[in-house]
Amino acid sequence: MYLHEIGKRSPYFRAPIQWLALTVCFIHPGSTPVAAASSYDIEIKKSQRLLIVREGEEVRKVYRIALGRGGPGNKQRLGDRKTPVGTYRVIGFNDRSKFDFFIRLNYPNVKDAFYGLKSAVIARAEFDRIIGALRRNILPPQDTSLGGAIGIHGIGPETPEKLRIHENLNWTEGCIALKNEEIRELRPYIRIGTRVVIRE
């Protein structure tokens, strides 16, 4: 459902939707935040547990992944352990993560903030903070009831047991996980601004 259609169905949200549409145009997924975006896109297929590196229509890499243990569906709030669905951008890196290497995404995005406001998970002031951060291409607030710290990362210290769990189960709190050698192999394909599309 498009945002303008939501506005038509919900008169209460019509004015915010008109304002939000301008915001969406400003930070449209095709725009380039912070630095020149990579020529590669990342596609994540949750139901198939796959991460795909694309260059245009060409597939460059495919990885088997683990996801949030909260099951299918979109992330809606802190603690639901779901991996979000939508279009995100890479906004930072942490090479000292307990998960070996961490690629941070700009969750929550406009869609997450809108539905969070509509369902009263967040207040209007928090919505405005999130939208303001996204417009400035900086990390959105991570301290709201929508949660945060969503990204792509490794496993951390690998043991046979952890590798078995990784192969067979979705074990994260909402992130996308690869093996350590895979997250390092993925790194050259990603820079600040790389688009990450997460599909159910």
Give the model confidence (pLDDT) of 163-194 as tens digits. 999 999 999 999 999 999 999 999 999 999 99
Q: Is residue 38 part of a domain?
A: yes
Distance, first Cα to last Cα, the chain: 15
Q: Is residue 114 part of a domain?
A: no
CATH code for the domain in which residue 160 is found: 2.40.440.10
Report yes or no on 165 lying in a domain.
Answer: yes
Is 4 within the bounds of a domain?
no
Nearest C-alpha neighbor of 179 from the set 93, 100, 104: 100
Q: Does residue 96 register a pLDDT over 80?
A: yes
Whether residue 121 contacts residue 146, with contact meaning beta carbons closer than 8 Å, is answered with: yes
| Domain annotation covers residue 130 | no
User: Strands of 41-45's sheet, edge to edge?
Assistant: 58-64, 50-55, 41-45, 195-199, 86-94, 102-105, 151-153, 176-177
At 56-87, the pLDDT tens digits run: 999 999 999 999 999 999 999 999 999 999 99
| Residue 195, in any domain of the structure | yes
Cα–Cα distance, 54 to 63 (Å, whole number): 12
Instruction: Tell me whether residue 44 is in a domain.
Output: yes
Distances (CA, A) of 105 to 11, 33, 88, 168: 32, 12, 6, 25
Provide the domain count of the chain: 1
Rounded Cα distance between 144 and 8, Å, is: 28
Q: Show the domain range for 177.
A: 32-107+147-199
Phi, psi of 112 (to 5 degrees): -60, -45
Q: What CA–CA distances, in Å, run from 167 to 5, 81, 187?
A: 40, 18, 21
Burial 82-99 (b: 16+ CB within 10 A, else e): bbbbbbbbbbebeeebeb
Radius of gyration for the alpha carbons in the chain, expressed in angstroms and rounded: 17
Q: Round to whole Å and give the CA distance between 74 and 69.
A: 12
* Span 100-159, pLDDT tens digits: 999 999 999 999 999 999 999 999 999 999 999 999 999 999 999 999 999 999 999 999
Q: How confident is the model at residue 37 (pLDDT cuts 50, 70, 90)?
A: low
Specify the DSSP element, H or E, that contains 3.
Answer: helix 3-9
Confidence of residue 17 (pLDDT cuts 50, 70, 90): very low
Q: Which residues contact 199 (CB under 8 A, 6 or more apart)?
A: 43, 44, 45, 46, 85
Instruction: Specify if 26 maps to a domain.
Output: no
